[in-house]
Each structure stands twice: as C-alpha cells, then as structure tokens.
C-alpha cells in the first residue's frame, strides 16, 4: 500500500519518474552506463540538460527574452545570488516568513534594504497588500508561497520596480506571467524534482547593473553564458527534473495541474472549514494551495488524530514548530485521492470523537 | 558487456552502489518511500547524513579536532568559500593548472594573492617544488591532483603557513595526514559519489579570523553548526556518497585502495614508457595516479587507435583540449581489469601498426 506523502519538501514526485530514474541509475538509455557515472559533457547528458531547459521554457510559457539556468545551493544561495546580481544601492523586500527573513538578511550584506511590508507581527499568517516602494529601488523581492505558514500571493505586487521572486514552493503549480519579473528562482525540491538543483529564470538585459564583485558561482552572467555548465552541474537532480517536466507536459501542463491543485486545495480547506474539530491558521484569502496549515480546536484529540492518520498511511503532516498543528503539503505529484484519504480521516475523527 | 569507463568525472562508481541506489529510488529501506521524496529532516535521512559523515571521518582517519560537512556547488564554489573564510589580507597559491588558476581568480576578489609558484610556462606538465611563502600569509592553497594535465603532488608543501587544499580529484585515493591541513575541500564526483555534493574538512579553531562579510551559504561556521543541514542538502548525492564509502570501508579502506590505485598506475605508465607508439605528457616524478595523460608518437595512427579502443568498449579516454592526446582517468571504482584492457589495446596497436 502506497504511502500518502505530504512531506513539505523534498516531496512526492510522480511514480513513473521514480521508475524511470531507478532504471537510469543502472543503465541510462541503453548506454551501458549509469546516469551517475556519465560525463556531464557527454552528448547524452548535454541532451538531458537541453531538454530540461526547453521543457521549463515550454511549460512555463517563458518569452524569448529570458534565459533559464540550473545552478546549485537552493533558494538559500539564491538569496545571495539575487542581491549580488541586482542590488546596487537600494532594495525592497516584502517579509512574509522564514525564507523572506533570510533573503533580507543576505541582501543587507550588500546595500540598503527597505522592508516595505511584513506580516511578522501576526506570525506571518497573512500576505501584506498595502505598501509603497521607493521609486529608486533596484528591485522588489517577495516569496510567492510560504511553506511554513501556509500563505500564498494570489496576485503579484503591482509596482514599477523590477520584481524578483523566490518561487521555490509553488513554481509549476499555476500560471504565472513571466514577463512581470526580472528574475525568478526556485529550489527544485517541491514541484520540479529532487533536492540539489535550483532554477533561475533571468530577463535578458537585467544583469550587469551593479558594482558588486560577484563570486563566479554566484554571478548569473557567466552561468548563462556557459549554459548551466560553468562547472559540473548536479547531473541526477537535473535529469529527474527533466523527467518530472515530461510528466507535467504529457498530462496537460500548467493548465491541467493548476486545476488539479485547486481541486485538492478546495477539498482540504472545505473540510477544515466544515469540521468543528479543525481550524485553519492562515488568513482565508491568502491560503496556500500548496501547504494547508490547520490546528485542532481541541488539543486533547491530538493522540487520537495522530493515530488515525498514521493508520491511514499518511506521512509528513506534522506542522512546522513555528505554527504547530498540521500542515498538508499538496505539491503537484500528490494525487487528489491522497487528499481524500486525509479528509476522510478528519471526518472520521469528528464522527467518533466530535 | 560492461563498458570500461575512464570518464574524468563524473566517473565510474562501484556497481553494487548503482544497484542499491537504483533500489532506493523506488523504495528506500522498505520505508515505502523513494529516497527522492523523503524529507531531509526525516530520521531515515538524518541517519544517512550521520553515517556519511562518520564514514568520511573513519576512512580518512580524521582527528577529533576537525569538522566534516557536505555542501553544494563543487570545487568552483569552494574557491570562493576558501577565500571568504580564510583570506584576511594575504594568501599564497601554487598554480598547477586550470583549477588552481580559477581558485586564484576568486581569491583575488578578496585580498592580496601571491602566486608563489606556477608551472604554467610549461603547460602545467609538472608540480613546482621550490618556492617561498610569505611569513604573514593567511594560508597556502594548492590543488593536490590536476585532472586535465595529469600531475599530482606526491608530497605536500612543507610550510608554516596554514594549508588549504582542493583535493577534488584524489581524495579517498591515498593516505593523507589530515593534521597537515587547515581545510580540505573536494567535489564528490570522482572518488566519493555522484555530482552535486561537495565535502569540506575543517580544522576546529581555524575559522573566524577574517573580516569578510560572508554570504551564509559560503560561511563554513553556520554550515558546521547546522551539521550540513542549514538548508536542504543534496539528499541523493550524499546518500550515494555514503554507499560508496561503505564499499570502500568494506573492501579495506584507504590502504586497500591506495595499493590498487598504485597497481593500476604502474600498469598504464609501464606500458606508456615501454610502447614506442606512446609518450606521457607529464613529468615522470609528478605523474598522477588518477589521470594518466599520454600522446601518440605518430599522429597518423590516431584513427586506428581510436577504433581499437572503441571496439574494446573503452569510453572517456579522449584527452582534454588543453593537452590533446589521451587521458585515462582511473578513479577508485575503475577495476584493474579495465586498465588491462586498455594496455592490451595499446600493445595490439604496436603489434599491428608499430
């Protein structure tokens, strides 16, 4: 019996991706070699990299005037990469949680940072919507989805400042107008692939406007010029990302997955709101379609509930310590049927203990 | 028929590692989950990380006063990490090739760099042995093995300056006295595992002596404090590295592999020296046990030789464009029998075309 994997990341990927990846660890495309022992300069792996980048562009409908590169280091290195490449004198940040806070800290090493809005005083349970951005700011940075607090920007900031977004936890989950952004970055390990690769989408002409002396591995220009091959890339993570993108495209791409993700979110949030034993922790209008955070209204039922979802082969729904309670992370590859199993357990708790 | 994989990296790993890794992509340790979909905070993966670090310490006989961490970004990010963490005012570098040159370039962003010795004028075909190091230098940096040019430090610099070494391409291949070093770093993708993880061995008390404002992902202190889990680590690369270290330990550890690597090197270099159709490109006393670089004495035989080794299922011996000719990379997992196949082809070329 397959486990219902609600892990907040690294997270569930499609079963067919695991099967093909497993085979390629033994013998990649009948080459007689494991994907793990192939040179990154081999024609076989160069084809993987090319296909991965082409699929990113196709699936996200990225315009011609953007470059796509795969790097390493996760969003945490991305916080520094964003600032090194774009912060000349002044940057603006919206603080919506743990990751925004870390991004701000890294940017402050390089220049003036204006936190134009923050939901920190309410434990980041909402997305700020009112703020002013300095006319002379180099960019406005925000985190599109906040895994820990279960909030998500439903619409993006309207500003004349260049937009930079850490989209780690909801990229590929919904339609995004790429042209609104100067740069988007995202750790792979939610909707794209396994840990170890990080995606950057960079508007042509947006680089080269700072005086920072940028370490070469944090400098987007040479990484773009070398087509993600400045040094040895994270071969396997990029390969599995490519397989996941093939799965996404084959099934109908972003319009298909956006609809499915909305169905899953509707299913869980309807139950949270209907069931007297549960309450959501995030502001309703800002609820994340990726991470549903909820609490028991009666903590005394914790042991019963925990046993019930464990028995149902549900894993990974313990909430982050910053919020407590539960967090159902419903990334792209989580089937609707897994959400139904959780909803059924919630109903059963109410029926037997409510 | 298995291919004789001489790839310069990513490179051959043990077959039993591929088999176990392949299984774990489907179902890790009967958890019902793929290793790719597990949280890095799960007790299962924390155990993998702990075992990987314990094996590194055991196999390399690392003293108690050193920390071991796994990061990302390869040696190329290591060039910056070395400089950010150790360069306060003045650093010394030995330039033995492409990677040293890049390390020097990154260090120069942060302070005075003295290239105390270089073999560049002879296309890096030897290891400089005579040089003076400034008494007030923060450290002396060198590259222990030069994959492209096939040279290797047979003994390490004797100096009172703290030693920092990029050991990417020969770590785990031979005994090293760790106590000689302040810091060692190494991309995983030669003797340790697949691409995507980078190993750091850091002497306790050696950090915190610079005034650099270090981006957190390049700052060794928090990475050590968070035990390689400051952010999501490259889960699969670390897992496969752990499997490779198990294989190394089980077979006899460093003393076993050092002997086997010496046998392989003796086999190929004896043939290069004996066979009138070939000549080695590196100074004999500095020849790398990892990467044997050699040239045809008569370029007209190239087509014949290339066909012969291709027919023998040898792959990856084309030399780097900086040297030309051939490069036989003989990392830990390459069996002696694969070297014998190459030697037999070299003999056959001489017999039929010599």
Q: How far apart are CA A23 and CA A38, in angstroms?
A: 15
Residue among B40, B84, B195 minimizing CB distance to A195: B40
- pLDDT, residue A53, reads 98
Hunting for tokens 């390089």 — which residue is that? A110
**Does residue A78 contact residue B73 with C-beta atoms inside 8 Å?**
no
* Contact between A315 and B33 using a beta-carbon 8 Å cutoff: yes
Q: What is the pLDDT of residue A278?
A: 98
Position A11 scores a pLDDT of 97
Within 8 A by CB and 6+ apart from A70, the residues are A49, A52, A53, A197, A198, A199, A200, A228, A233, A234, A238, A241
CB A123 within 8 A of CB A149: yes
Q: Which class for A34: exposed (0-12), middle (13-18), buried (19 or more C-beta within 10 A)?
A: buried
Q: What is the CA radius of gyration of chain A?
A: 21
The answer to whether B49 and B276 have CB atoms below 8 angstroms apart is: no
- Among residues B67, B166, B170, B219, the one annotated as catalytic is B166
A13 neighbourhood in chain B, CB within 8 Å: 34, 36-37
3 state DSSP class of A151: strand
Confidence of residue A333 (pLDDT cuts 50, 70, 90): very high
Q: What is the pLDDT of residues A282-303, one digit of tens each?
A: 999 999 999 999 999 999 999 9
Least Cα distance to B148 among B267, B336, B325 occurs for B325
Please state the separation of Cα B287 from the chain's center in Å: 15
pLDDT grade, residue A1 (50/70/90)?
low
Strands of B198-203's sheet, edge to edge? B66-71, B198-203, B183-187, B163-166, B140-143, B90-95, B112-118
- Beta-carbon separation of B2 and A102 below 8 A: no
B150 in the Ramachandran plot: left (φ > 0), alpha (ψ -120 to 50) or beta?
left
DSSP per residue, A229-265 = -SS---HHHHHHHHHHHHHHHHHTHHHHHHHHHHHHH
Of A32, A34, A44, nearest in space to B1 by CA? A32
CA angle B45–B50–B55, rounded 5-degree value: 125
Q: Do B77 and A72 touch (CB under 8 A)?
A: yes
Write out the H or E segment, with its range, that includes residue B197.
none
Q: What is the DSSP string of A93-120?
A: EEE-SHHHHHHHHHHHTTSEEEEEEE-G
Q: Please answer yes or no on whether A234 and B231 come within 8 Å at the CB atom.
A: no
Residue of A219, A236, A330 to mutate for B, most B C-beta atoms under 10 A:
A236
Distance CA B76, CA A229 (A): 12
Strand order in the sheet with A326-329: A278-280, A291-296, A326-329
CA distance linking residue B335 with residue B201, whole number of Å: 28
Q: What is the DSSP string of B221-252?
A: HHHHHTTT-SS---HHHHHHHHHHHHHHHHHT
From residue B33, alpha-carbon distances to A16, A347, B24 in Å are 13, 26, 8
Give chain A's length.
354
> What average pLDDT score do residues A85-112 get?
98
- Give the N- to C-terminal CA distance of chain A in Å, as an integer: 29
DSSP bridge pairs for B112? B90
Nearest to B125 by CA among B288, B340, B9: B288
CA A169/CA A188 separation, integer angstroms: 9
DSSP B320: P
Among the listed residues B67, B99, B138, B203, the single catalytic one is B99
Is B190 tagged catalytic? yes
Q: Residue A306 in 3-state DSSP? A: helix
CB-nearest partner of A215 from B37, B109, B313: B109
A286 in catalytic set: no
Does the pLDDT at position B198 exceed 80?
yes
Please report the number of interchain residue pairs, chain A to chain B, with beta-carbon separation below 8 angstroms. 188
Q: Which of B8, B13, B23 sits opposite A39 (nearest CB)?
A: B8
On chain A, the residues whose CB falls within 8 A of the CB of B240 are: 36
| Residue B78: closest C-alpha in chain A | A217
Q: Are B149 and B295 in contact (CB under 8 A)?
A: no
pLDDT at residue B354, as a whole number = 87
Over 90: is that where the pLDDT of B289 sits?
yes
Q: What is the C-alpha to C-alpha distance for residues B202 and B82, in angstroms, rounded to an integer?
A: 10
Q: Which domains does chain A have, with CATH numbers?
A: 15-251 (3.40.640.10), 253-353 (3.90.1150.10)
Of the partner residues B38, B72, B213, the one whose CB lies closest to the CB of residue A109? B213
pLDDT band at B226 (very low <50, low <70, confident <90, very high): very high
pTM over 0.95: yes
Distance separating alpha carbons of residues B241 and A33, to the nearest angstrom? 18
Q: At what angle do helices A98-108 and A74-86 cross, to 10 degrees?
A: 40
Q: In what order do the strands lie in the sheet with B291-296?
A: B278-280, B291-296, B326-329
Are the CB atoms for A133 and A161 separated by under 8 Å?
yes
Any B CB within 8 A of A111 CB: no
Kind and range of the H or E element at A330?
Answer: none
| Mean pLDDT for the stretch of residues B75-95 | 98
As a whole number, mean pLDDT of residues A158-169 equals 97
The pLDDT score that the predictor gives to residue A2 is 83
Q: Which of A170, A190, A264, A309 is catalytic?
A: A190
Q: What chain B residue is nearest to A45 in terms of C-alpha separation?
A: B10
Question: Quick one: average pLDDT of B241-262?
Answer: 98
Query: Cβ–Cβ of A232/B189 closer than 8 Å?
Result: yes
What pLDDT shows up at residue A257?
98
- For A48-96, the pLDDT digits (tens) are 999 999 999 999 999 999 999 999 999 999 999 999 999 999 999 999 9
Contact yes or no for A232 and B10 at CB 8 A: yes
A181's CB contacts (< 8 A; 6+ apart) are A162, A163, A164, A165, A201, A203
Mean pLDDT (whole number) for A118-131:
97
Which residues in chain A touch residue B216, judged by CB atoms under 8 angstroms apart? 76, 79-80, 102, 105-106
Please answer yes or no on whether B40 and A194 come within 8 Å at the CB atom: no
**Does the active-site annotation cover A102?**
no
- Say if A230 is an interface residue toward chain B (CB within 8 Å): yes
CA dihedral B225, B230, B232, B235 (to 10 degrees): -20
Tokens (6 digits) for A235: 């071969």
- Which residues 179-208 of A are in CB contact (within 8 Å) with B? 187, 189, 194-197
CA distance A140 to A135: 11
Closest Cβ–Cβ partner in B33, B80, B84 for A5: B33
What lies within 8 Å, CB to CB, of B4 at 6+ separation is: B312, B313, B314, B315, B334, B338, B341, B342
Neighbouring residues of B340: CB distance < 8 A, sequence distance ≥ 6? B267
**Chain B stretch 53-92, residues whose beta carbon is closer than 8 A to a beta carbon of chain A:** 72-77, 79-80, 84
Parallel/antiparallel/unpaired status of strands B112-118 and B90-95? parallel
Residue A206's contacts (CB-CB under 8 Å, 6 or more residues apart) are A86, A162, A182, A183
Instruction: Give φ, ψ of B327 to 5 degrees.
Output: -140, 115
User: Could you tell me how many helices (H) and strands (E) chain A has, helices first?
Assistant: 9, 14
Report how many helices (DSSP H) and strands (DSSP E) chain B contains, helices first.
9, 14
pLDDT tier at B1 (50, 70, 90 boundaries)? low
Mutate to test the interface with B, among A11, A21, A25 (most CBs of B within 10 A): A25
Band (pLDDT 50/70/90 cuts) for residue B109 is very high
**Nearest by Cα to A17 from A159, A192, A152, A184:** A192
Residue B333 clears pLDDT 90, i.e. is over it:
yes
Mean pLDDT of B126-131: 96
Q: What is the CA radius of gyration of chain B?
A: 21
Instruction: Check CB contact of A30 with chain B, cutoff 8 Å.
Output: no
| Closest to A292 measured CA to CA, from A277, A278, A304 | A278
């Amino acid at each position: 019996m397959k486990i219902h994997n609600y892990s907040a990341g690294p997270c569930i990927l499609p079963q067919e991706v695991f099967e093909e990846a497993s085979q390629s660890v033994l013998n990649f495309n009948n080459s007689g070699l494991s994907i793990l022992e192939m040179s990154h300069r081999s024609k076989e792996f160069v084809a993987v990299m090319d296909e991965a980048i082409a699929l990113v562009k196709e699936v996200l409908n990225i315009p011609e005037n953007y470059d796509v590169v795969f790097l390493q280091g996760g969003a945490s290195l991305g916080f520094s990469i964003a600032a090194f490449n774009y912060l000349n004198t002044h940057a603006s940040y919206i603080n919506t949680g743990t990751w925004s806070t870390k991004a701000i800290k890294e940017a402050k090493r390089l220049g003036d940072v204006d936190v134009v809005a923050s939901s920190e005083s309410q434990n980041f349970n909402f997305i700020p919507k009112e703020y002013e951005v300095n006319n002379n700011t180099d960019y406005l940075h925000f985190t599109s989805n906040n895994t820990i607090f279960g909030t998500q920007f439903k619409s993006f900031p309207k500003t004349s400042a260049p937009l930079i977004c850490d989209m780690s936890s909801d990229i590929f989950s919904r339609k995004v107008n790429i042209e609104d952004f100067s740069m988007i970055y995202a750790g792979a390990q939610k909707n794209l692939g396994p840990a170890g690769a990080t995606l950057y989408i960079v508007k042509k002409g947006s680089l080269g406007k700072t005086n920072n002396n940028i370490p070469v591995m944090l400098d987007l220009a040479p990484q773009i010029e070398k087509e993600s091959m400045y040094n040895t890339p994270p071969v396997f993570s990029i390969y599995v990302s490519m397989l996941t993108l093939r799965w996404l495209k084959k099934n109908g791409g972003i319009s298909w997955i956006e609809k499915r993700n909305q169905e899953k979110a509707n299913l869980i949030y309807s139950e949270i709101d209907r069931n007297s034993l549960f309450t959501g922790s995030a502001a309703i209008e800002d609820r994340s379609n990726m991470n549903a955070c909820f609490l028991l209204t009666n903590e005394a039922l914790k042991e019963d509930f925990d046993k019930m979802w464990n028995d149902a082969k549900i894993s990974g729904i313990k909430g982050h310590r910053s919020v407590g309670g539960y967090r159902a992370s419903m990334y792209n590859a989580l089937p609707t049927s897994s959400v139904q199993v959780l909803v059924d357990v919630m109903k059963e708790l109410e029926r037997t203990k409510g």
